[in-house]
Chains A and B, each alone.
Chain A
Amino acid sequence: MPFFEFITPLFLLLIVGGTFVGVIFGAIPGMTATMAVAVCLPLTYPLGLENGLALLLGLYVGGISGGLVPAILLNIPGTPSSITTTFDGYPMTQKGEGEKALKIGICASFAGGIISLIALYLFAPALADFAIRFSYVEKFLIILFALSVMGALSTNMLIGIFSGFLGIFISLIGTYDISSGGNGKHRLIPSGLEYWLDSGFSLLPVLIGIFGLSAILQQAEAGMPPGLSRDKVRIGKSSKFSFSIFKGQVLNVIRSSGIGTFVGILPGVGGSAASILAYTNAKTFSKNPENFGKGEPAGIIASESGNNGLTGGALVPLLSLGIPGDSTTALLIGAFTLQGIQVGPLFIGNNPETWTAMIFAMLIANIVMFVMMFYAIRYVALIVTIPKHILFPIILMMCVIGAYTINYGIMFDVWTLLIFGLFGWLALKIRLEIAPFIIGFILGPSAEIYFVKSLESFGDLSIFFTKSWIAVLLWFLILGSIAGSAFISSKAREAE
């Protein structure tokens, strides 16, 4: 069957390897799925698109799932998205039910991943078919909507929107590209840097700096907390795991996975929001809400199916609209860029084999994650003891390779890595929002083209309000998200 030619031993090996490395990154506090993808991105260059995506999607699924290990065993979320797993997972470990809690979390992660994969398979092509009809006006408004949603869901709406626009502004540094209809002139380039910034800051060094180097700087600032010794990792198996625990939890799994998928579809909203929403809902609908936070399996199920539900959901806007659903999928854009492929409404139709390969890779990655973690959980738990003083220097070295090789050997890209590593560290201190910044940076050049070309074509600003019913709907959604956020924050202030 020629359509499945991509399924080769290498393809399968890369998924297994990617998932394994992803679990390691997810399980070590301070390292994330995003960092795993950032560090391994340069490896995809010689692998080709399908094989490269197999590796990256394995890393993504493994990275999100691995976070449950330290969350349950040590009360430290391995990734931000497993924060709510600590609420019930760690109390179970304290009761000597660590292994049972881990296996509940692994099963829930698997269910969440599969449900979100089904959603991806059904929704992405439908949304892409719909989005093909969009003109530059609607495409510009979609980007504006993405930024407004991200701003609205930020801790501080104003700062969230500001961060998104700052990302756009920095992305405009360089030449107004002739191949995109621009006039080929420079703008916003500091004097003396014209040669280096002719094409602006490259996307991947920026992403690797913000997600790789800045995480290392944060760890260094915190004194690089040492790894744990083996005797401190007590898995505990006083109570046996049984699949009957999931009896009566089917609705919880489906609801939490659905919430995760929906949150994933919203641009720039991370896994922590997915798991918190899923956990809160599970508690609200539970017959025993008082048990939550004291070692209730339903809490782990909600949290883990919620955060793994994000994996498929976050790919929906990426593959149908070209807008990343979270920071990890933003990095996947880098893999497509490396292979010269643009993601957007035409992607699925023009690249059916790549689309099928992605679905297969996600499916296999979820199965590998389940088998690997479920049957070898006692060994997987030991990942948290890997010393950071060995891992972090190697990660920084890999960041350098990623930045340097992206444009076939330009040292300025390595300095870009340092500049944006420091920026990422500083942004946390001054409470800038990283996710909107990244999405703004990625979508800025497209936003410019859509905006300017719309005006050049129609010569009238009102076109953004009158082009179609979709444009009107998008304005309602933009204003609704901002007004909703403003209302919620004013209520919160009143409550204080």
Chain B
Amino acid sequence: MGELTKVTIDFQSSHLLFPIIIGCVLAVLGLAIVVRERSRITTSGSHWRRIFTQMDKFRFFGTLALTLAYFSLMVPVGDFWPNTGLGFLFCSIPFVFLAGLLFMHVWTARSVLVLATVAVLVPSLIWWLFTEVFFLTLP
């Protein structure tokens, strides 16, 4: 029994020891979950159909699309004015405005005007605070 528990660790491959153990534990737990939850897994199609039926697709996918565009454009726009954080500012203003419009339920001239003001002022204030006061790098 004493010999069975003895372990020698090869330093060169020691980076794989713990990931392999955790991977095995995950595989065993995953198998146990599949066996125990098999009825729920086999009927998961209806679960996902319900999610997609009840989902506000316009706002959900709209948020994802706006976020992707926001993240993708920040660096290319910022490259026009390197090390100024203006890529962040010039992308954040339209993002906050468009996302606000997306989330707004009733568009009135007053609420759109308030949103537009906030969309210009808040990112500008944040940009000024981080770049001019805190001296932190922004895209």
Contact = CB atoms under 8 A, between A and B. Distances in A.
Interface residues of B, number: 69
B71 A400 contact: yes
A452 B18 contact: yes
Interface in B103-118: 103-106, 111, 114-115, 118
Nearest to A461: B5
B16 A220 contact: no
A397 B120 CA distance: 13
A312 to B, nearest CB: 30
Given A223-B59, A400-B71, A452 B17 contact: yes
Nearest to A465: B5
B49 interface: no
A459 B7 CA distance: 5
Contacts of A397: 92, 95-96, 122-123, 126
B18 A451 contact: yes
Contacts of A161: 29
B63 interface: yes
B128 to A, nearest CB: 13
A360 interface: no
Contacts of A455: 7, 9
Nearest to B30: A162
Contacts of A213: 67
Interface in A384-403: 387-390, 392-394, 396-398, 400-401
Contact of A169 (B15, B19, B95): B19
B23 A169 contact: yes
A377 interface: no
Given A172-B22, A220-B60, A409-B137, A459 B8 contact: yes
A41 interface: no
SS of A interface (majority):
helix
Nearest to B33: A158
A90 interface: no
Interface string A64-82: 0000000000000000000
A223 B5 contact: no
B134 interface: yes
B139 A169 contact: no
Given A390-B115, A452-B9, A409 B139 contact: yes
A448 to B, nearest CB: 4
A284 interface: no
A17 to B, nearest CB: 13
A221 interface: yes
A223 B115 contact: no
Given A165-B22, A404-B139, A415-B71, A220 B59 contact: yes
A221 B59 contact: yes
Contacts of B18: 172, 447-448, 451-452
A390 B5 contact: no
Nearest to B48: A429
Contacts of B33: 158-159, 162
A187 B63 contact: no
Contacts of B126: 397-398, 401
A288 interface: no
Contacts of B95: 393, 396-397
A187 B18 CA distance: 11
Interface string B1-42: 010011111011011111101110110011011001000000
A176 interface: yes
A176 B14 contact: yes
Contacts of A158: 29, 32-33, 36
Contact of A393 (B23, B74, B103): B103
Most chain A beta-carbon neighbours within 10 Å: one of B6, B9, B18: B18
A393 B7 contact: no
Nearest to B11: A183
Given A162-B30, A221-B56, A393-B96, A187 B15 contact: yes
Contact of A404 (B19, B25, B97, B138): B138
A442 interface: no
A151 to B, nearest CB: 10
Interface of A: 42, 45-46, 158-159, 161-162, 165-166, 168-169, 172, 175-176, 182-183, 185-188, 213, 216-217, 220-224, 226, 387-390, 392-394, 396-398, 400-401, 404-405, 408-409, 411, 414-415, 418, 429, 444, 447-448, 451-452, 455-456, 459-462
23 contacts: A45-B136, A46-B135, A162-B33, A165-B22, A168-B22, A188-B19, A213-B67, A220-B59, A221-B55, A388-B103, A389-B104, A390-B118, A393-B96, A394-B118, A397-B122, A397-B123, A397-B126, A405-B138, A411-B139, A456-B9, A459-B6, A459-B8, A462-B2
Nearest 5 interchain pairs by C-beta = A176-B15, A223-B56, A389-B103, A393-B99, A409-B137
